[in-house]
Structure 1
């Protein structure tokens, strides 16, 4: 059934047409409407429009209640997102923390605040060159900034035939590295329109860093993982990743921004990791031809080489990628607002949207606590503590249900910290309108340079988007029950899994007889760069991802076969 709601003019026109049709049945034909009837039709149309409006609000309120009951996060407003580029004038790397405030000015004059989406490091490292391998040929990505030494050699932009296998790939060389290599450094991809397959591949394909011998090694295998606002953090697949630091504490989830899938963050690295090499194997002859001169001295310098495999059929990489930049980070139009609510004076229901002046819209509540620092819980989540306070978001209002003290007296006030945005107004921030740091004194030596305009901000989520996310939450196989669930979930883990077949059985173990689900997966033999390294990591990923979603008491065994 269509969800289109007619407006007042459409209802009025329909009433007039129906009136003429009914009158014509009695043999009366008229092209004009009596003024008194016109007023009557318009009045009735307004009343019907009000009924439609109430029904639409009821429908949306019911949807919000269902989403809250299933603990599906509501995106009340979407912050605009921009990408900023930073330059470090100092020799030592500098760390910029997530949430660092940036001053911005909208085209209409309003002063806005943006915050960095992730913690990252800025150093003197730079990209030496970037290459694309596709259709059995290697070529320079001319849209990517090259180092001065590479440019001085006047490299060729023509493709060079080379046999590196059937799988397309990107190769990126980074030089002038600090002792910590690319520790928490950021990488941004400028993509052409219509290149979603490339963007999707960047988010889901494994990334590699070449080892000291110029070959791929387990120490350099990484996987992207979404963290917030569409930023992806790379994580090493073998070995222990460093724990999350105090400045990386999770913030309320921000929906994917306009630049999602383009901003990447390298994992923590340290001096001594065997991740520097002179040149990857099999690339040196082709690179020598591209550089047009004796490149032995140039290629003798150790650099950090990155390989990003691509699936077959992606658009031409040298056209799809307009640029690759270090030391960039997306920034979202979000800011925190603190407020103390005295229940006797302010009541228990407060608005979270401000329309007058510079508009403010709620993204998510950061914290809700009593003045004694007792945390309030979401009203939709069950809790064992009957004395705990609760809060609920509904119709752009935050409703607080006061908790009680140990002596039984109710809380008199609560401290709330809200995550706010200026909504669609943030889209009016142009490329050069993010001007400075809010606390510039603590960030001396770091400069902002104009990069992209802000986009993607909205004052609230459209109901069509809410319905789609709700349907996705219902249809997603979060819990694996049937055989079809297990096979479908396995195919969704990695595109290189071509087929999945399961069978059940009972096995005798030391602790007794256990039920086992055997998962037989068929893999694409041409889609792996180093199967001996990637298969154990893929098996561990599948067992972790699917094992936690199986019915309690079941065990999972995974076996691979090639196509």
Structure 2
């Protein structure tokens, strides 16, 4: 019988039925050789042979197919090829009801509710400070007129209605003005949502921000510039100061979110030093026109010291008042990333478990935040070089979590481990109606803090189909993790996302602050039907692919990626 099993393992064409038939023949020959008689038909023995044959065929199948794929996965992981995760849905949320300054961290859990009443978790993409700060005035100058932008609040209640008045600023470029009634912390950590679209959004992304001085004028120490943040959020930084690197912690370290559909519409102020917390009256350029935009009952609402911010837009920009729909403070983007804890009991569940959140295939694991043993010791990743040989280890791969329990001085191991996981609902988190994200689940000093989403959630999707391990490994071997030729770019792009149907590469020169740079213009063609929310997912795919290729390009080369739909968009 052992010879039969050996022959089965040596052949790739034998099925479980063939193995069972050969087991029966070998048994019959053994019976005749030992007892001189043929065995009678026995259904129990036939069932036993069939069950054994199924197990043997599975062992061979695993040796033939699973083992090589697993080895390739380990090699790809060791070569640091990024895993493709689910895309979390993103929305813009606004906080209200605060009476003191407080930081809302990126791990603050927010909850929303779908139309069917099911609960969906969100978390801020970036930390912000909430405070009693209010927006007192917002307006855009363009083509000889000053236009009020919705969002400003009057001191006694009420809002500044939309409207426009003449304003003669000879040769001035379009400019956005905002005034804030801030607390002692000034504008530090304030998140501002500029609901812009089209050319206005692109112009705002390229523009500096200017915190006006006590005289209402621009000064060098008040200059700010936008830098990219998590989820596409624009973090403002002081113009002449280096942006602090700051090691990512918690969920931000495990899930570095790519640009979301709303990230580029949110700006977050940096901490404001005491010597820059300037306030002033209405700037001279607006002194005659701004009061004309105020309602009749509040003609002197701006006659006080406010924190004024000016955003000059590129010359030639048109249509900003129509494209900038509103300005809202205390806002940040929030993505469908939920932190949950699970206990893995080794005696009952084993040391290798399949992670299926709440038994639902519509929820996806984004990563492992931490693993803690029975005695409180943190487990390290299997590939980490630090840690004692007896310390606990973990490895996450393709929906499976493999644990190696820690061994203690007594020789006993942990009975269980606590695992903190990051979950995402993918497509299920799309379409959350305005106001559906309405609960803050955190212990905060502002006990009356409220939250509501100002936009419908978009961009959530399940993980894209993973390119076969052999394809990914071949891409790494072929390019050596460096893209030099057009064929390298195409191989890297196709291995990055199998939904990319065609890749075009064009080399050209591009002038920049450092001089003329070599630029590779990459166009990835996709079928929109392959995406759950094309308008929300394609910008994120573009940003992620561009970062992937840029990290593998030669020094001095710049990669620009555009994602275009194929004609018709059919599968």
Q: C-alpha distance in 1, partners of 2:159/2:411?
A: 78
Deviation at 1:398, TM superposition (A): 1.9
Tell me if 1:437 matches 2:437: no
1:425 to 419, 425, 428: 428
On the 8 A contact 2:212/2:309 being kept in 1, the answer is yes
Q: C-alpha distance in 2, partners of 1:84/1:274?
A: 26
2:313 to 310, 313, 316: 310
On the 8 A contact 1:142/1:157 being kept in 2, the answer is no
Give the corresponding residue for 1:348: 351
Tell me if 1:118 matches 2:126: yes
Q: C-alpha distance in 2, partners of 1:62/1:233?
A: 41
2:167 to 144, 147, 160: 160
Change (3 A) 1:436 1:221: same
Change (3 A) 1:341 1:279: same
Matches within 5 A, 1:119-138: 119-134=127-142, 137-138=144-145
- The gaps in structure 1 that reach 5 residues or longer are 1-55, 478-490, 503-548, 552-563
Matches within 5 A, 1:34-433: 68-88=77-97, 90=99, 92-134=100-142, 137-145=144-152, 147=154, 156-158=163-165, 160-163=167-170, 165-166=172-173, 168-174=174-180, 176-192=181-197, 195=198, 197-203=199-205, 205-238=207-240, 250-252=252-254, 253-269=256-272, 273-284=276-287, 287=290, 300-312=303-315, 314=317, 316-354=319-357, 356=359, 359-379=362-382, 389-402=392-405, 413-433=416-436
TM-score of the aligned structures, taking structure 1 as reference length: 0.61
Q: Deviations over 1:390-432 (max 9, x none)?
A: 4333221122345655788876654321111222222243223
On the 8 A contact 2:149/2:327 being kept in 1, the answer is no
On the 8 A contact 1:352/1:396 being kept in 2, the answer is yes
Deviation at 1:436, TM superposition (A): 2.7
Deviation at 1:366, TM superposition (A): 0.5
TM-score of the aligned structures, taking structure 2 as reference length: 0.61
RMSD: 4.8
SS in 2 for 1:219: helix
Deviation at 1:269, TM superposition (A): 2.9
Q: C-alpha distance in 2, partners of 1:224/1:434?
A: 28
Deviation at 1:276, TM superposition (A): 1.4
Change (3 A) 1:201 1:387: farther
Matches within 5 A, 1:445-460: 445-449=448-452, 451-460=454-463
Q: C-alpha distance in 2, partners of 1:62/1:77?
A: 24
Deviation at 1:188, TM superposition (A): 0.9
SS in 2 for 1:229: helix
On the 8 A contact 2:250/2:369 being kept in 1, the answer is no
Give the corresponding residue for 1:24: none
Q: C-alpha distance in 2, partners of 1:402/1:205?
A: 53
On the 8 A contact 1:208/1:221 being kept in 2, the answer is yes
Aligned residues: 427
Q: Deviations over 1:325-380 (max 9, x none)?
A: 01223333222222333445423322223374584311121113444555444445
On the 8 A contact 1:64/1:74 being kept in 2, the answer is no
**Worse-superposed segment, 244-253 or 275-284:** 244-253
**Worse-superposed segment, 245-254 or 363-372:** 245-254
On the 8 A contact 2:95/2:330 being kept in 1, the answer is yes
